[in-house]
Structure 1
Amino acid sequence: MRTRMLALAGSVAIAAPLALGAAGAATAAPDDNPPVTLVDGTTAPIYDYADAIRETVWVTTPDLDDDGVGERIAADIIRPRELDGNARVPIIMDASPYYLSSGRGNEAERKVYDADGNIVKFPLYYDNYFVPRGYAFVAVDMAGTARSTGCTDEGGRSDIESVKAVVEWLNGTGVAHDAAGDVVDADWSNGKTGMIGKSYDGTLANGVAATGVDGLETIVPISAISSWYDYNRWQGAVKSNNYPSSLSRSVASNRTIATDCSARLNWMNANDGDETGAYTDFWAERDYREGTFYDVSKVKASVFIMHGLQDTNVKTMNASKWWDALGEQGVERKMWLTRLGHVDPFDSERGLWVDTLHRWFDHELMDIDNGIDREPAVSVETAPDRWEQSPTWPISSARTQTLNLHADGTMMLGKQDRTTASYVNATSLSEANAIRIGDNPNRLQFLTGTTKHELRISGTPTVDLDVTHTVPVGQVSVMLVDYGMMDRIITTGDGAETLGTESCWGPATATDDACYNEVGKRIASTELQVLARGWARLDGAGNHRVTVELAANDVVVPAGHQLGLVISGSRNGVLAADTSSSTYTVALGGSQLNLPVSGPMAGFGPGRLTAKDTENLSPGTLANLDETVWPGN
């Protein structure tokens, strides 16, 4: 064991938590870092969780919902009592719209208050685990949700500014009041905040970082959105009608403050652009990479991204494009990519995740040199429980290989086919039927020969299409498929399965335990897997030259497998722009798959799968089929 020695003004250096009432404690100026004990290089739990200070403040903001009245944003706080007035502490913050609606985590935990309105239960394990190690934990109710005033805004300025205001208050530049209306200062905070959260929570972290607010030192976005257009759309293809207002209405359920937000919801419906699917000012406001108000050039916080490579809710482009944009700006960054879907790593790699997160916060918020910044920046699960580490992503050995499409249904390097191929549009075509090998008039399918060597696809595949249709608005759906038997993580439950055992992650109270159900991976031997999907809207009848960007992935394709490309009009996760039975014609000479791959792509053998190989596939053996699943949290 070794201890980081910290000195308080007017006292000697100490290596243990300060005792309340110690000589000189009443007059000593608080230190800017808490005394901590390091065990194996990480902060040890030396502060009392049960006796920790629990309080609520309401941070004031300007008017965010156009009713002429400023907002009051509820922030529930827990922090070590031993350090109150003796040392300032860093903050871990999870800002969320879900604390009183759908809840947080696999157990859907919600905040709980006693009869006097005092917070007695914080969802998730962050408070139990980190407060005894010298951190404060702050759980913020986003504007328009739970105990905060205002209206929800699906990632717009109201959402982001409401959370930013709390970061500013923690850094000494905002105003807050307690339940009695008295002004409260965050004099216990050292101004260093790290934001974390899954889905909408992690999205708020991305958005606040893109404001460039002072005091935000790091963010850990888990399965998070970096551009709401890329969540609601895919190259003009619309996810569902009036989704922004629907989500905003959903997350505002069970709030304690009755507010008429109909004007905001109606405005969203009128401006979301469902009719065209275009990227408009509405979406630019909700773009944290290069938007109207927020963009990556403002980011000063370090970023630790976590995302599931099989996430069909928040698609992987939200992580891959954010990662690229951060790198272009020179932002300190780290990334985990798992083979699961919309799943928190606490529910997939629990022990390793908590250890890594612990070391990350110690380094970024406690300034502890534990070497995490000198380790490979990226960890990727390329197959079930097979992890690869690299300093960059996509991996440096990946290069783009072009596979040309041929009328006989093959897909190969080199020679082009100057003929055409056609299919009859059928929006009712299911993904399971579209990817089966064999004749099907409602889609085109192109197959490679079997691979002689293992390949690793790492990055974002694209498909160049030269396509002609006769309807006013057309649409194409594209899928990249891996054909071949192997153990894979299947999509039921996003690949996660709640087990009958628990593990505990910190001390507890009678109302707030730290024990959570263990979660396993749903692994099964399957004949195929959809590796990536993409869509594009085609406005106007006639010829279109379009590059369809597929979802980013990083996956191993074993030797003896075969890659396939499927082109159709089926919706498979987006609304149908064309519901007719019109014919789509693809000019093969101008169409190709661009695949970022590491391994000998020329090593395809002559063997090819046939219709017989997949004719008896059951739904349980079709891995990763997306049948329009869009959970909100």
Structure 2
Amino acid sequence: MGHGRTPLRTAAAGAVSAALVAGTVVGLAPAAQAAGIRFVDISGDGGTVLKANVVTPAGADGSRRYPLIVLPTSWGLPQVEYLTQAQKLADSGYVVLTYNVRGFWQSGGQIEVAGPPDIADASKVIDWALAHTPADPAHVGMAGVSYGAGISLLAAAHDKRVKAVAALSGWADLIDSIYSGRTQHVQAAAVLDGAATLTGRESPELREIFDNLYSSNLSKEQQMIDWGRKRSPATYVDQLNKNGAAVMLAGAWGDTVFPANQYADFYQKLTVPKRLELRPGDHATAELTGLFGLPNDVWRDTERWLNHYLKGVDNGIDREQPVQLESRSAGGYEGYPDWKSIAATRRKIALVGSTTIHANVDSGADGGIVFLSSILDQVGRLPPVASIPLLPRRWAAVWQSEKYGSAQHVRGTAKLHTTLTPTKESGTLVAYLYDVGPLGLGKLVSNAPYTWHGRTPGTPFGVDLELFSTAYDVPAGHRLALVIDTVDPLYIEHNPSGAQLTFSSPANDPSYVSIPLREQ
């Protein structure tokens, strides 16, 4: 499998999490000096001490009540994370309470990964705020980035007092995020593990989950799935709908920790007032500038959402198209009435013929590097690239469309269907969709991994795989290419030595990749 855990944790994860933590502390510490901020200890579930801060509106004297916003911290970040945004919200008339989730920094306990103690903590924090601040019990909201987003959604499903949620770069399905296609997203897991090691105290259960993930312990697979399901807002979508909190979800197309697919699927199941925003970027990068007080679309819409559903402000956000997407190529926002409407048509690229590739060698087609690649795409529109004509066909299967006479606006989720005959009982493939220019240089549009176990060697079976959702414009004169290989640094692969994969397209079950397209 060839992916060592220790180098990833100490290098990629350590550097990323340390940089985020340092940047947040340095950039936001001055806000702690502002008037109206109190640092407090709150007794969470089981008496665990949670370090928190409270920001109240200027001049608040207890003669009136203010809507309350609770902000649980992100994974690995300290309680000063949101102080700039908290001050802005307090200035506009909110009591804002930020708390460091259990297991991280100075808060007590161990990291439970949004387990039952974390959900109970959120309710305890609300209890404390209602008892010790001029907060209005009828107007309670929650918001947060990443870990704070997931906890906010779970709390809203379990506590009817929460009337509005803004979940930024969070998750709906934890297992579908780091184990989609039955494949371990090893770089994403290493970032989470490394940050937890640097800034917190992992529970024995979490340590076991990480170890089983890295080691591909199939005997513990169901245990891991059950663990993740208990911590997934999607599990409690009926409770969330019943409780009625208005839910705003915001994420990034290139999120290598929580891919956009799982948010989109969750959004479709919500029946409460809802909004879905997806932009270029990686995990939590779209929100980052707002944490430093700079103009930021995500935080602007978060405040508009909370203003409408907690204060009753008629700012028009409820009348806008609820699905707001920003293309990775063109910029600007596109509004849609629902997720299904973003792709008016689908165009299939036939995967004709029979193609055999050898496993265990990286062909050069890759999904990039966690954080770095999607940030480059966000800032400079520079996604991972590969020379499609030069990809070695011994290790990569390649199919291409004809040249398009007009621009193709890819919106949503591309779907692969093919027939696979492996020579071994287990294995992994990674599918990539590329935008190929006249010189054969391919820019990555999307990708996704797929792993199987227990198959009979030499016996064909059908593969259906959803690639990660995206919004990308293919220029006129370009092609789309589907590439399949077996090794990608983002994922743990399960290809035995000497394995070969044959892709075919039977007449009664032709192979294809279905491309979702917006109307011209």
- Asked if TM exceeds 0.5, the reply is yes
Q: Note the C-alpha offset of 1:435.
A: 5.8
**Aligned residue for 1:214?**
160
CA 1:263–1:200: 2 relative to 1, 3 Å: closer
* Superposition deviation, residue 135 in structure 1: 0.9
Change over 3 Å in CA distance of 1:435–1:311 after alignment to 2: farther
Give the superposition deviation at 1:187: 5.0
- CA–CA distance in structure 2, aligned partners of residues 575 and 247 of structure 1: 16
Aligned to 2:252: 308
State the Cα distance separating 1:585 from its structure 2 match.
Answer: 0.8
Alignment of 1:44-443 (within 5 A): 50-52=34-36, 54-62=38-46, 70-98=47-75, 101=76, 103=77, 110-111=78-79, 123-170=82-129, 172=130, 185-186=131-132, 188-191=134-137, 192-211=139-158, 213-240=159-186, 243=189, 247=192, 250-251=195-196, 253-254=198-199, 263-269=204-210, 274-276=216-218, 280-290=225-235, 296-297=240-241, 300-326=244-270, 330-342=271-283, 343-345=285-287, 347=289, 350-382=295-327, 383-395=329-341, 398-407=344-353, 420-431=354-365, 436-438=388-390, 440-443=393-396
Q: Secondary structure at the match of 1:151?
A: coil
Distance 1:159 1:338, change over 3 A: same
Given candidates 423, 429, 433, the residue that maps to 1:470 is: 423
Q: 1:195 to 1:572 in 2, by over 3 A?
A: same
Distance verdict in 2 for CA 1:485–1:586, change over 3 Å? closer
Aligned to 1:563: 480
Contact kept in structure 2, 1:163 and 1:208, CA below 8 Å: yes
CA distance in 1, matches of 2:170, 2:442: 28
Report the counterpart of residue 466 of structure 2 in structure 1.
549
CA contact (8 A) 2:72 2:100 kept: yes
Partner SS state of residue 336, structure 1: strand
From the two aligned structures, give the one with the greater helix fraction: 2
Deviations for 1:542-584, whole angstroms, at most 9, x for unmatched residues?
Answer: 3221211110112222221211111121234110111423211
Q: 1:537 aligns to what?
A: 451
Q: Which amino acid in the other structure matches residue 226 of structure 1?
A: A
Return the alpha-carbon distance in structure 2 between the equivalents of residues 317 and 294 of structure 1. Answer: 19
* TM score, norm. by length of structure 2: 0.78
1:371 Cα deviation after fit: 1.7
Q: What is the alpha-carbon distance in structure 2 between the residues aligned to residue 313 and residue 247 of structure 1?
A: 9
Which runs of no fewer than 5 residues in structure 1 stay unpaired?
Answer: 1-48, 63-69, 104-109, 112-120, 173-184, 408-419, 487-525, 601-633
Q: Distance in 2 between matches of 1:424 and 1:332?
A: 49
Retained in 2: the 8 A contact 1:477–1:536? yes
Q: Percent identity?
A: 20
Partners of 1:122 and 1:228 in 2: how far apart? Answer: 23
Which structure's CA Rg is the greater one?
Answer: 1
- Report the CA distance between 1:372 and its aligned residue: 1.4
One-letter code aligned to 2:168 = I
Name 2:5's counterpart in structure 1: none
Structure 2: which amino acid aligns with 1:597? L
What SS class does the counterpart of residue 148 from structure 1 fall into? coil
Q: C-alpha deviations, 1:434-456, integer Å up to 9, x for none?
A: 76224521111100011112222
For 1:357 and 1:280, locate their aligned partners in 2 and report how far apart those are by CA, in whole Å.
31
**Alpha-carbon distance, 1:252 to partner:** 6.2
Counterparts in 2 of 1:405 and 1:219: CA distance versus 1, 3 Å: same
User: Cα gap change, 1:560/1:295 in structure 2, threshold over 3 Å: closer, same or farther?
Assistant: farther
Question: Retained in 1: the 8 A contact 2:55–2:86?
Answer: yes
SS of the residue corresponding to residue 480 of structure 1 reads: strand
Amino acid at match of 2:419: D
Q: Which moved more, 1:551-560 or 1:341-350?
A: 341-350
State the Cα distance separating 1:162 from its structure 2 match.
2.2
Over 3 Å counting, the alpha-carbon distance change for 1:545 and 1:364 in structure 2 is same
- Is residue 53–residue 80 contact of structure 1 (8 Å, CA) maintained in 2? no
Measure how far apart 1:206 and its partner are: 2.5
Pairwise CA distance, 1:313: 3.0
CA distance in 2, matches of 1:294, 1:162: 22
**Counterpart of 1:595?**
515
- Once the two structures are TM-superposed, the CA of residue 463 in structure 1 deviates from its matched residue by 0.6
SS at match of 1:150: coil
Q: Do the aligned partners of 1:154 and 1:247 also contact (CA within 8 Å) in 2?
A: no
Tell me what 1:20 maps to.
none
More moved, 71-80 vs 128-137: 71-80
Number of residue-to-residue matches in the alignment: 453
Q: Which amino acid aligns with 1:334?
A: R
Cα distance in 1, alignment partners of residues 451 and 498 from structure 2: 16
User: Which residue type is aligned with residue 467 of structure 1?
Assistant: L
Asked whether the 8 Å contact 2:183–2:449 carries over to 1, the reply is yes
Q: TM-score, normalised by structure 1?
A: 0.65
3-state SS of 1:372 partner: coil
Check the 8 A contact 2:71/2:148 in 1, yes or no.
Answer: yes
Q: Which residue of 2 aligns with 1:505?
A: none
1:449 to 383, 402, 414: 402
Q: 1:202 to 1:262 in 2, by over 3 A?
A: closer
Alpha-carbon distance in structure 2 between the residues aligned to 1:50 and 1:588: 66
Deviation at residue 60 of structure 1 after TM alignment: 3.2
Counterparts of 1:397 and 1:240 in 2: how far apart (Å)?
31
**Cα distance in 2, alignment partners of residues 333 and 473 from structure 1:** 41
Q: Which moved more, 1:564-573 or 1:159-168?
A: 159-168
**Per-residue deviation, 1:233:** 0.7
d(CA) in 2 for partners of 1:60, 1:234: 33
Distance 1:97 1:375, change over 3 A: closer
Asked if 1 retains the 8 angstrom alpha-carbon contact of 2:426 and 2:451, the reply is yes
Runs of 5+ in structure 2 lacking a partner?
Answer: 1-32, 367-384
Query: Are the counterparts in 2 of residues 73 and 140 from structure 1 also a CA contact under 8 Å?
Result: yes
